[in-house]
Amino acid sequence: MNDEAIIEMLFAREEDVLSAIDIKYGGRCRKISMAIVGNEQDVEECMNDIYLGIWERIPPERPKPLSSFIYKIARNISLKKQRTNSTMKRRCVYDEALEEMDNLLFVEENVCENIEREELERLIQDFLRSVEKESRIAFVRRYWFMESYDEIAKKLGISTKNVSVRLVRTREKLRKFLKERWNYDER
C-alpha cells in the first residue's frame, strides 16, 4: 500500500490502517525501538504507543515522507521509554551511541551550549551534506536509527572496523565543523 493511501485511511479513521502501517513500517520501528530500549517487552509497549501517536497526529498532519514521520515518532517514544527505565541493567546500542556523541557534543560545551536545537539540527544537516555518501549513511544509521556497527557494515558491504573508523573520522569532522561554525557565528 502506498503512503497516500495510508494517509487517506488515517483521515477516514479506518482501523485497518494500523495493520498496513505495521506491514510497511513495523519492522523498522521495532528495530529502532529495540536499539534504544533494549528488550522485547518494552519494544511491544512502544509499538502500541507508536501506533497511537500516528493515529493521534494524522489528521491534521499530512507528512511527506510518511516514513520519516513514523520513524521520528518511533524514536521519540522509545527514547521516552528508555528515560523512564532509569534502572535499565543492560547496555543497548542507544547507550553506546550516546556515549560516542557525548565526546563530540558535550566536551566542547561552548560550541553547543547556546545553540538552539533547531540551529544545531540545521548545522548537522549542512555538515552531512558535505561528507561522502558512505560516511553520511553510516552516521545516520548509527545515530538516528541506532544500528550497531555490524548492521551498518552489512548494509554498506564494508568491514565493521571500516565502519568504526568512518564514524570516528566523521564525528571528528563534525566537531571541527560545529566549532568553526559556532566561532564564525559569534563574530
Does 122 lie in the same domain as 74? no
Residue 143 banded pLDDT, cuts 50, 70, 90:
confident
Instruction: Indicate the number of domains in the chain.
Output: 2
How many CB atoms are located within 10 Å of the residue 152 CB? 24
Quick check: pTM over 0.85? no
Does residue 144 share a domain with residue 110?
A: yes
Over residues 122-131, mean pLDDT: 90
- 59-101 tens-digit pLDDT: 998 998 999 999 999 999 998 888 887 554 445 666 666 666 6
CATH code (residue 47): 1.10.1740.10
Q: 160-185: per-residue pLDDT in tens?
A: 999 999 999 999 999 899 888 865 44
Question: What is the extent of the structural domain holding 126?
Answer: 93-186
Both 76 and 122 in one domain: the answer is no
98 and 16 belong to one structural domain: no
| In a shared domain, residues 121 and 179 | yes
User: CB of 125 within 8 A of CB of 164?
Assistant: no
**pLDDT given for residue 106 in this prediction:** 45
Residue 45 DSSP class: H
Name 154's Cβ contacts closer than 8 Å, sequence gap at least 6: none
Round to whole Å and give the CA distance between 79 and 106.
19
| 18 and 38 part of one domain | yes
The CATH number of the domain where 135 resides is what? Answer: 1.10.10.10
